[in-house]
Amino acid sequence: MTTPTDSTPSAAAAPKPTRIAPIVTPDAKDFWEAADREEFIGEKCSDCGRFRFPPRPMCPYCHSLKREYVKLSGYGTVHSWCMPRHPPPFGFREPPIVAVIQLQEGTRFVSNVVGVKLEDMKQDMAVEVIFEPTMGNHKVPVFKPRGQ
Amino acid sequence: MARTFKEAAIAGIGATEFSKESGRTELQLAAECSLAACQDAGVDPRDIDGMITFTIDNSDEITLARCLGVKDLAYTTRIPGGGAAAAATIFQAMALVNAGVCNNVLIWRAMNERSQYRFGQNPNNMQGYTGGHGTGTLLWNIPFGAMTPASWGALQAQRYLWKYGLTNADLAHVCVQQRQYAATNPKAWFYGKPITVEDHQNSKWIMEPVLRLLDCCQESDGAVALLVTSLERARDLKQPPVRILGACQSIPFNVEVIANFHHDDMTVMPEARGVAKRLWEMTGLKPADMQAAMLYDAFSPHVLLQLEAFGFCKPGEAAAFVKAGGMALDGAIPTNTHGGLAGEAYIHGMNSMAEGIRQVRGTSVNQVTKKTVEHVLVSSGMAGAVLARA
């Protein structure tokens, strides 16, 4: 990560992120640290191989404590969505589209759909992950229409 | 005390007025409604021996017990899940009386939820996100602007609407019916203020294109208390006893309150289905045996989902069922006859529990009269009870 200085005018021109940074709990630390590196990871059981979300220390299917974080495809579909109009959510200049993303790996993730107008939203539309900056130099995974 | 199984009954209900600014502390509201419930029952508040509230209630049980002069408290507990706790308080009170460990269980919920803090606004504290409230995934939604109950409720409802070809306009009939009930309920905030479908459709978007303002419950100040005792003892008290015929909770795998996005099928409420299954098994009754229902209405789609989960109509048919008058006093299942949390007040579901009790007593301002009220279903989604004439 670089620190903007007076000698880098392009950095100074970029708007400062207004999005709230994630509040990181101990069990979610690996996920958000990966997001800062623009990696979208999922928690997988090292024994039975099944994915789970949100992260937790034990596999609910086989009760194994062995787990690994693997890079996800970043592909999914828009399972449900809406646009918060009132009250305007903290951290957004324009109302975002919030969505439950059905991930290719089987788990779901609440995020934003960006780069599409509300009237162009389609149920189950294919999306892929990108990253957006937050306050405090962090990043969060959001989704754009696939291939756009 | 020898422990023997005892049937449980609700002997008293108490409430403050419902407002937008109570002008007194939540602890005072708690004390007032608790005293009122005891007086309604004819029970000395000093004899309370069990106390139950919601995990997120701000009034401390010991301080409240000190207000009431409680002599020897035998049991206290709190229930997680926000408003899902409402019917669960009745379930736990029933279990304590059944088990013979408490004789006078006080249930209370007191909130200055309009004048002191606002559930409908963006979060300004971390209370709901800490352990013990059953809301474990809420934090994951905050960076994405899903930071109010309406945003979570809308994400839950949108796929249901889409699956059955419904739009926000199809939700209007729930809201119009509830406001019609509130309009004739002097205790309701919206007393004398019915709405039309046009009013509903002209109200501003809260979560476009799912929820408008009139789809949402109110933010209210007020408090409600219940007094639960044994059926045998209740027969000797002031009010006709309201028997707790059955009560239960259900929290299926991967379900959580309101931010309920991780179970298999988002177009159903698995928790309400689970409650229905347990309740019908426990009581031997079926939907057609209910003469009224009080269904938690944080947002209008939840009423539809519960009507379907409890079997009053088939999946996807609730909007048409309501439009045809299914929730009306002369309909198949008179529902939220006090006006619901949208019309009367939002006391986290406890005022809906009180209305269920009034329907069994025969004292509702919108009393079901077409049939004798033998059984009333009360539901807070993750918990429910069948209340019955003794």
DSSP state of B299: B
Contact B250, B385 (CB under 8 A): no
Token digits for B221?
């100040």
B193-200, long-range: CB within 8 Å, 24+ apart, which pairs? B197/B169, B197/B172, B197/B173, B200/B169, B200/B171, B200/B172, B200/B175, B200/B176
* Average pLDDT value for residue range B347-352: 98
* pLDDT 10s digits, A77-100: 999 999 999 999 999 999 999 999
Q: Which residue in A has a C-alpha nearest to residue B205's C-alpha? A: A85
Task: Kindly determine whether residue A85 and residue B207, on different chains, have CB atoms separated by under 8 Å.
Answer: yes
Chain A nearest C-alpha distance from B139 (Å)? 7
As a whole number of angstroms, the distance between CA B390 and CA B367 comes to 18
pLDDT at A15: 85
Q: Does B247 touch chain A (CB under 8 A)?
A: no
**Which of these, B303, B249, B295, lies nearest to B274 by C-alpha position?**
B249
Token pair 């602890």 is at which residue?
B27
Higher pLDDT, B142 or B127: B142
Task: Kindly determine whether residue A23 and residue B155, on different chains, have CB atoms separated by under 8 Å.
Answer: no
As a whole number of angstroms, the distance between CA A118 and CA B344 comes to 34
Of B121, B145, B206, the CB nearest to A96: B145
pLDDT at A97: 98
Contact B291, B371 (CB under 8 A): yes
Alpha-carbon distances of A77 from A145, B291, B355, rounded to whole Å: 9, 43, 42
Contact B152, A98 (CB under 8 A): no
Integer-rounded Cα radius of gyration of chain B = 19
B155 neighbourhood in chain A, CB within 8 Å: 80-82, 98-100, 110
Q: Which residue in B has a C-alpha nearest to residue A94's C-alpha? A: B145
Contact B149, B135 (CB under 8 A): no
Contact A76, A109 (CB under 8 A): yes
pLDDT at A131: 98
Residue B296 has pLDDT above 90, yes or no: yes
pLDDT at B1: 57
As a whole number of angstroms, the distance between CA B352 and CA B344 comes to 9
Residue A5 has pLDDT above 80, yes or no: no
As a whole number of angstroms, the distance between CA B133 and CA B82 comes to 7
Residue B22 has pLDDT above 60, yes or no: yes
Task: Kindly determine whether residue B140 and residue A110, on different chains, have CB atoms separated by under 8 Å.
Answer: yes
A140 neighbourhood in chain B, CB within 8 Å: 143-144
As a whole number of angstroms, the distance between CA B27 and CA B67 comes to 9
Contact B104, B14 (CB under 8 A): no
Q: Does A58 touch chain B (CB under 8 A)?
A: no
* Average pLDDT value for residue range A110-125: 98
Cβ-count burial of B237 within 10 angstroms (0-12 exposed, 13-18 middle, 19+ buried)? middle
As a whole number of angstroms, the distance between CA A35 and CA A141 comes to 7
> Is B86 in a helix, a strand, or coil?
helix
> Is B108 in a helix, a strand, or coil?
strand
Alpha-carbon distances of A142 from A92, B29, B143, B266, B280, rounded to whole Å: 14, 44, 10, 21, 43
Residue B338 has pLDDT above 60, yes or no: yes
For chain A, domain boundaries? 23-71, 73-148
> Angle formed by the axes of helices B300-309 and B172-183, to 10°?
100
Task: Kindly determine whether residue B155 and residue A99, on different chains, have CB atoms separated by under 8 Å.
Answer: yes
Q: Which residue in B has a C-alpha nearest to residue A17's C-alpha? A: B143
Alpha-carbon distances of A63 from A56, A67, B288, rounded to whole Å: 11, 11, 42
Residue B160 has pLDDT above 50, yes or no: yes
The mean pLDDT value of chain B amounts to 96
Apex B191 CA angle, B187 and B195, nearest 5: 145
Residue B128 has pLDDT above 80, yes or no: no
Token pair 């309150």 is at which residue?
B257
Contact A43, A51 (CB under 8 A): yes
* pLDDT 10s digits, A33-51: 999 999 999 999 999 999 9
* Residue B132 confidence class, pLDDT cut points 50, 70, 90: confident
Q: Which residue in B has a C-alpha nearest to residue A141's C-alpha? A: B144
Q: Does B63 touch chain A (CB under 8 A)?
A: no
Q: What are phi and psi of B342, to 5 degrees?
A: -80, -35
B139 neighbourhood in chain A, CB within 8 Å: 22-23, 25, 28
Identity of the residue numbered B139: L
Task: Kindly determine whether residue A89 and residue B140, on different chains, have CB atoms separated by under 8 Å.
Answer: no
As a whole number of angstroms, the distance between CA B215 and CA B298 comes to 8
Show which residues of B are catalytic.
Answer: 296, 346
* pLDDT 10s digits, B208-241: 999 999 999 999 999 999 999 999 999 999 999 9
Q: Does B280 touch chain A (CB under 8 A)?
A: no
Q: Does B161 touch chain A (CB under 8 A)?
A: no
The β-bridge partners of A18 are: none
What is the value of ipTM here, to two decimals? 0.95
DSSP state of B252: -
Of A84, A109, A142, the CB nearest to B207: A84
Q: Does B268 touch chain A (CB under 8 A)?
A: no
**Which runs of E-coded beta strand occur in A2-125?**
41-45, 51-52, 67-71, 75-84, 97-103, 108-113
pLDDT at A6: 44
Q: Does B164 touch chain A (CB under 8 A)?
A: no
Task: Kindly determine whether residue A140 and residue B144, on different chains, have CB atoms separated by under 8 Å.
Answer: yes
Q: Does B267 touch chain A (CB under 8 A)?
A: no
DSSP state of A45: E
Q: Taking the CA of residue B24 as centre, how many other CA atoms within 13 Å lie in the half-sphere pointing to its CB?
A: 14
A92 neighbourhood in chain B, CB within 8 Å: 145
Task: Kindly determine whether residue B155 and residue A81, on different chains, have CB atoms separated by under 8 Å.
Answer: yes
Cis ω for the linkage preceding B209 (within 30 of 0) = yes
Residue A7 has pLDDT above 60, yes or no: no
Contact B37, B10 (CB under 8 A): no
As a whole number of angstroms, the distance between CA B180 and CA A55 comes to 45
> Angle formed by the axes of helices B300-309 and B149-163, to 10°?
50
Q: Does B210 touch chain A (CB under 8 A)?
A: yes
Residue B190 has pLDDT above 50, yes or no: yes
pLDDT at B124: 76
Enter the CATH code of domain A73-148: 2.40.50
B140 neighbourhood in chain A, CB within 8 Å: 22, 28, 54, 109-110
Report chain A's terminal Cα–Cα distance, integer Å.
27
**Which of these, B168, B259, B159, lies nearest to A122 by C-alpha position?**
B159
* Residue A13 confidence class, pLDDT cut points 50, 70, 90: low
Task: Kindly determine whether residue A100 and residue B208, on different chains, have CB atoms separated by under 8 Å.
Answer: no
Give the total residue count for chain B: 390
Antiparallel, parallel or unpaired: β B8-15 and B221-230: antiparallel
> Is A28 in a helix, a strand, or coil?
helix
